[in-house]
């Protein structure tokens, strides 16, 4: 790159940066349709691909990093959540309407399907042992399954648990116990490490395996909270409207937020400072960050689309002649 071109690029970047009070610029790398109420996304950091729970079409879809469709399969009934295992590329599915949990190979082959659930709302896989936690919402239970589907734990004292998020480093699991307005931290064997209130309709959460902390969209309070591993509140911020999901990046501690009722997606620093806020969405329900490149996938639910966002990096001029 010649010196003139470098100067032009730097000038363009400076103008773009000055156009916003925030420290970050984000662009859409890909936006694609062919979905009907996509409800959840889960990115595989190993290859950058993304799994989609296509709720309205009763399908699950696997997309390459560039949005190319790798696989699409039916046999589901309102699939509500997906969780990819980066260790082997497989994916767990909460088949909400079917009352099943399903384990798919990376090519879409069904490895296991199990019943006995009542509107399972969320799944979270531990790549270290292949096990999966399930928020069995209408049974008011949380279930821990082994990689082969065997039941390791079932807790029956929850009230409409909406979400689970496992910490692969410790094996513990966080639970958004939506009906009781509590957040719960469970040990690998199901014992309660911490249980705390002060929320109103928490329906999702995302654990940071780097420090064991957990981000929670406090949906009805229109806030997002950041909790330490022991439940201490590290940060709480407003400016949201019905935030539906969060996805923490363990590489830098930042957190993406689906600010659903504002029709926006927000990127927060680990401190809670707002780095970026973008519109052009229609009831985005789910976000999933790739810690390897910092990009974020979005289920733009009422637009019936999936979006891949990337953070623009400033161009740094290099010395020497080209």
| 17-60 pLDDT per residue, tens | 333 345 799 999 999 999 999 999 999 999 999 999 999 999 99
pLDDT of 315 higher than 50: no
The answer to whether 125 and 131 are in contact (CB under 8 A) is yes
pLDDT of residue 47: 98
pLDDT of residue 22: 53
pLDDT of 194 higher than 50: yes
How many Å apart are CA 264 and CA 179, to the nearest integer?
26
Cα-flanking dihedrals φ and ψ of residue 14, to 5°? -65, -40
CATH of segment(s) 26-311 = 2.120.10.30
pLDDT of 316 higher than 80: no
314 pLDDT band (50/70/90 cuts)? low
How many Å apart are CA 53 and CA 245, to the nearest integer?
15
- The 8 Å CB, 24+ separation contacts for 180-184 are 183/214, 183/216, 183/227, 183/231, 184/158
Q: Which two tokens stand for residue 251?
A: 């590489």
pLDDT of residue 320: 38
Question: What is the secondary structure of 239-281 as a DSSP string?
Answer: --SS--EEEE-TTT--EEEEEGGGTEEEEE-TTS-EEEEE---
- Ranges 16-20, 39-43, 131-135, 277-281: which has the least confidence: 16-20
pLDDT of residue 272: 98
Residue 187, sorted as left (phi over 0), alpha (psi -120 to 50) or beta, turns out to be beta
Q: Give percent of the chain with pLDDT exceeding 90.
A: 90
pLDDT of 319 higher than 80: no
| 149-179 pLDDT per residue, tens | 999 999 999 999 999 999 999 999 999 999 9
Summarize the confidence of residues 88-116 as an average pLDDT.
98
pLDDT of residue 28: 98
pLDDT of 228 higher than 80: yes
Summarize the confidence of residues 264-290 as an average pLDDT.
98
pLDDT of 4 higher than 60: no
pLDDT of residue 96: 98
pLDDT of residue 23: 74
Cα-flanking dihedrals φ and ψ of residue 88, to 5°? -135, 0
pLDDT of residue 313: 78
Predicted model pTM: 0.90
Given the structure tokens 């662009």, which residue do they identify?
A: 27
Q: What is the DSSP letter of 149?
A: S
The answer to whether 287 and 257 are in contact (CB under 8 A) is yes
Average pLDDT, the chain: 92
How many Å apart are CA 263 and CA 23, to the nearest integer?
21
Contacts of 125 (CB under 8 A, 6+ apart): 83, 84, 85, 90, 92, 131, 132, 133, 166
pLDDT of 9 higher than 90: no
Specify the 3-state DSSP secondary structure of 179.
helix
Cα-flanking dihedrals φ and ψ of residue 34, to 5°? 90, 10
Q: Which two tokens stand for residue 104?
A: 């798919």
The answer to whether 81 and 100 are in contact (CB under 8 A) is no
pLDDT of 223 higher than 60: yes
The answer to whether 225 and 200 are in contact (CB under 8 A) is no
> How many other CB atoms are found less than 10 A from the CB of residue 48?
17
pLDDT of residue 321: 35
């Amino acid at each position: 790159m010649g010196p003139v071109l470098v100067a032009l690029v730097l000038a363009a970047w400076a103008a773009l940066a000055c156009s916003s009070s925030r420290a970050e610029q984000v662009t859409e790398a890909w936006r694609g349709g062919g979905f009907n109420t996509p409800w959840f996304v889960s990115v595989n950091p190993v290859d950058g691909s993304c799994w989609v729970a296509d709720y309205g079409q009763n399908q699950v879809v696997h997309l390459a990093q560039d949005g190319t469709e790798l696989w699409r399969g039916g046999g589901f009934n309102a699939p509500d959540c997906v969780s990819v295992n980066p260790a082997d590329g497989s994916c767990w599915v909460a088949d909400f309407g079917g009352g099943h949990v399903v384990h798919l190979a990376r090519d879409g082959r069904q490895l296991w399907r199990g019943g006995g659930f009542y509107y399972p709302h969320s799944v979270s896989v531990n790549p270290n042992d292949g096990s999966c936690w399930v928020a069995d919402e209408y049974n008011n239970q949380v279930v821990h399954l082994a990689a082969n589907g065997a039941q390791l734990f079932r807790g029956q004292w929850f009230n409409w648990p909406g979400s689970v998020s496992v910490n692969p480093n410790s094996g513990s699991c966080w639970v958004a116990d939506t009906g009781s307005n509590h957040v719960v931290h469970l040990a690998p064997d199901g014992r309660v490490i911490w249980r705390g209130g002060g929320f109103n309709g928490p329906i999702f959460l995302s654990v940071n395996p780097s420090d064991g902390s957990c981000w929670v969209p406090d949906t009805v309070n229109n806030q997002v909270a950041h909790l330490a591993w022991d439940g201490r509140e590290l940060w709480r911020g407003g400016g949201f409207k019905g935030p539906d999901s969060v996805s923490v990046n363990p590489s830098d501690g930042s957190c993406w937020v689906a600010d659903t009722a504002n029709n926006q997606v927000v990127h927060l620093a680990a401190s809670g400072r707002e780095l970026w806020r973008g519109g052009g969405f229609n009831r985005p329900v789910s976000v999933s960050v790739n810690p390897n490149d910092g990009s974020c996938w979005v289920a733009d639910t009422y637009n019936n689309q999936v979006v891949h966002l990337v953070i623009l990096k400033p161009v740094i001029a290099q010395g020497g002649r080209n």
